[in-house]
Structure 1
Amino acid sequence: MPAAGAPQVLSSKGRQTREAIEQAARRLFAEHGFHGTTLADITSAAGKSSAVFYRYFTDKEDLLAVLAESFLHDVVTPSGLSLSLPDSPDDDAFFTSVVTGYWNIFKQNIGIMIAVAQLAATQRRFADVQNEFRRFGIEIVAASVRRAQEQGFGSRLDPAHTAAAIALLFENFTTVFGGASGIESLGIEISDEDAIKTLATVWKKTLYGEQGDQ
């Protein structure tokens, strides 16, 4: 069995097997959370045996760590590399496009986010990964605050504090309304379109107030 995190040279069949295990874990973590998903659940959903699982991962936490690191470095970080900033208070397209990208990426990977959040409370390595996710969002929002201030708006806003507040609001909102369970008891239904519009509006109005409203 390879050491945790050790690179593996996989055959085409091996890649397919590993991908089946990872996809099953993503779905089950989204539906039941990390603690509500057993290793047997994952292998059964993937159509694989536990012996096959251990060829690729040391345990369920190792699997989550691999998924989280891959999500962070292969999906989250590249998504912000060419990001522009709002041109003016009327630049609705900036807020809508960024929030749409954020919503779609995180909703598609909500199982990883939920599982990481559950383990972050007690395990430092997952808390560190969670904070890497958060720093990505905070840096983007902080840059948008500074841009608004260059344009003469939001002079009383502290970029770092405002960015942390908005990024954490996004995180919790997405976890609740982007997940597969737990929202029925709230009595609130929201479509993807309305969720994106709500988050984009909150972000924009925090920076520009009523400026740019049509």
Structure 2
Amino acid sequence: MAQNALGSDTAPKTARGASTRERLLRAAESVFAEHGYSGTRIADIVHAAGVSHGNFYRHFQNKDDVFVAVLEPLLDELVEPFVRALAEGSDVLDSMVRVNTDFFATYSRHRRLFPLLREAAAVNPDFTAMWLRMRDRFIGRIGAWLEEIGAAPPGAAAEPQLLALALGAMTEQLAYIQIGPSGTGPSGVTDERPRRPGTPGVVDAL
């Protein structure tokens, strides 16, 4: 489970409590998706879940707390590919392809949550910090991999971290255009990528 400064991590002590919390989470995700982060009220969530306000506050402190809980599967899935790649010590290019492929798959599974997180980050400093931590982790790791494979030799016009920032922006925008609004999953995404002989470049890394 993702650990966030915003969210509480108190687990329900009974099966009934766990069931109520799950109902609230399902309702919250649906209401957030319908009304957006700013437009969602706790009253909307408890109405959709069919529980009382008192039950809501037994499990969550406020709207931000339940929003973090809704985001937890997404946050966990974004971190896991990097952890797995580093643990396996795979070839750098293979790791980059797998991480980016996993990102598209994660975006597809959580296509309703990504726009919500961006909306929340635009209006709430705590979620801004969360978004920047996510982005910086991705950019930092990709930049290190690009440097390792020599995608930007010393003296090149673009340094590895700048290339990683550009690639991250391209990847996110591609996911938004191809997956987000259309509601369709990623198609034609495969782990097979052609590689040119010699020093790999940025295109090969993707």
Matched, 1:24 2:27: yes
Alignment of 1:1-214 (within 5 A): 5=8, 7-68=10-71, 71-72=74-75, 74-83=76-85, 87=91, 94-149=95-150, 153-155=151-153, 156=156, 157-179=158-180, 181=181, 192-194=186-188, 196=189, 208=201
Judging changes above 3 Å, is the alpha-carbon distance between structure 1 residues 190 and 24 closer, same or farther for their aligned structure 2 residues?
closer
Judging changes above 3 Å, is the alpha-carbon distance between structure 1 residues 33 and 174 closer, same or farther for their aligned structure 2 residues?
farther
Aligned residue type for 2:124 = Q
Work out the number of aligned pairs and report it.
187
Secondary structure, counterpart of 2:37 in structure 1: coil
Aligned residue type for 1:76 = L
The residue aligned with 1:186 is: none
C-alpha distance after superposition, 1:72-110 (max 9, x if no partner): 3x433233112157748xx5x545432221122233233
Aligned residue type for 2:107 = F
Judging changes above 3 Å, is the alpha-carbon distance between structure 1 residues 83 and 13 closer, same or farther for their aligned structure 2 residues?
same
Q: Structure 1 residue 14: deviation in Å?
A: 1.1
Please give the alpha-carbon distance, in whole angstroms, between the structure 1 residues aligned to 2:54 and 2:22: 16
C-alpha distance after superposition, 1:32-68 (max 9, x if no partner): 4223444344334333333322221232222113334
Secondary structure, counterpart of 1:35 in structure 2: helix
Question: Which structure is higher in RCO with an 8 Å CA cutoff and minimum separation 6?
Answer: 1
Instruction: List runs of 5+ in structure 1 lacking aligned partners.
Output: 184-188, 202-206
Instruction: List runs of 5+ in structure 2 lacking aligned partners.
Output: 1-6, 195-199
Secondary structure, counterpart of 2:146 in structure 1: helix
Judging changes above 3 Å, is the alpha-carbon distance between structure 1 residues 108 and 44 closer, same or farther for their aligned structure 2 residues?
farther
Aligned residue type for 1:160 = Q
Which TM-score applies when normalising by structure 2? 0.71
Secondary structure, counterpart of 1:82 in structure 2: helix
Q: Give identity over the alignment, percent.
A: 23
Judging changes above 3 Å, is the alpha-carbon distance between structure 1 residues 145 and 55 closer, same or farther for their aligned structure 2 residues?
same
Please give the alpha-carbon distance, in whole angstroms, between the structure 2 residues aligned to 1:178 and 1:160: 26
